[in-house]
Structure 1
Amino acid sequence: MKIRVIMTLCLTAVAANVQAHGVKVPSDSKSLQIFKDVPSMQIASMNEPGVNAYFEDIVGSADPNAPIACGIFKIEKGNPLVYTYDYDDSKVILDGHIYFSDGNQKVKGEVGDVLFFPKGSTITFSTDDSGLAYACGQRKLF
């Protein structure tokens, strides 16, 4: 329940000037936006050979001076995903668990955990089962 509240709050925080899962929301909108049952939506493959990782943007700001984009990330057992961030990013674990390593430390993110990845960091993602996370970064929509 707390995870749904966190997701709803994050999503509604970017309600003005947004594009939502392929649908443009009017830039002058001051209305709350809600995206139902996000954890069950279809998530596109990240197309990394041998890596079972998936990501889908849900909503993002159209403000070029203060971009923010939020989406859903999933990883399943397989080869690790290595990603270098060119923006600040955070993740909230929604289901399962994900291992994160920055080369100096390795942590296990579990349901309810929040992780922060600063711009310039290189993170290795892995799991021995599967993990699902809500992601929110200071970037434009992919």
Structure 2
Amino acid sequence: MPVESKSAAERYKLTDQVDKYVFFDDIFNSKGETTQDPLAGIWFRIEKGPPIGPGVHGYDESGVVYEGTVTLKDETGTEKKLGPGDSFFIHRGSKVLFSSDDYGVCFKCAARPKGKL
């Protein structure tokens, strides 16, 4: 299979909207509907607003903040405010809320099929 690549401009073209202040696009995915260990590469943007999350994470997820700030708060009350260059890992089964005081842009990789936030 060929190597895939995307321009840095892709992070400004996010089309999927979770809420009025949360946007994402899967830009890379494992091929095939029945891939045993799927992996998705995702551009994610969050703007100022109340904390939001998927409930319980059904998959492992790792990310790097590229711009702005992103705050992660887990079910234990631990809160981390991350800035450009900071990375994070969310374990499957965790409950994590995302928020931002201004805006944040992240590149994330998740062990999940395409389009499942």
Q: TM-score, normalised by structure 2?
A: 0.86
Matched, 1:128 2:101: yes
Provide the rounded CA distance (Å) in 1 between the counterparts of 2:97 and 2:3: 35
Q: Which runs of 5+ in 1 are unaligned?
A: 1-28
Q: Which runs of 5+ in 2 are unaligned?
A: none
* Alignment deviations for residues 56-81 of structure 1 (CA, whole Å, 9 cap, x no partner): 11010026112101111111111111
Matched, 1:95 2:64: no
Number of the residue aligned with 1:44: 16
Q: Is the 8 A contact 1:76 1:130 kept in 2?
A: yes
Provide the rounded CA distance (Å) in 2 between the counterparts of 1:57 and 1:41: 11
| Percent of paired sites with the same residue | 28
Q: Give the superposed CA RMSD.
A: 1.4
Number of equivalenced pairs: 110
What amino acid is the match of 1:76? E
Number of the residue aligned with 2:84: 111
Structure ranking higher on relative contact order (CA contacts 8 Å, 6+ apart):
2
Q: Is the 8 A contact 1:52 1:79 kept in 2?
A: no
Q: Is the 8 A contact 1:43 1:72 kept in 2?
A: no
More displaced stretch, 75-84 vs 112-121: 75-84
Q: Is the 8 A contact 1:58 1:70 kept in 2?
A: yes
* Higher normalized strand content (fraction of residues): 2
Provide the rounded CA distance (Å) in 1 between the counterparts of 2:82 and 2:67: 10
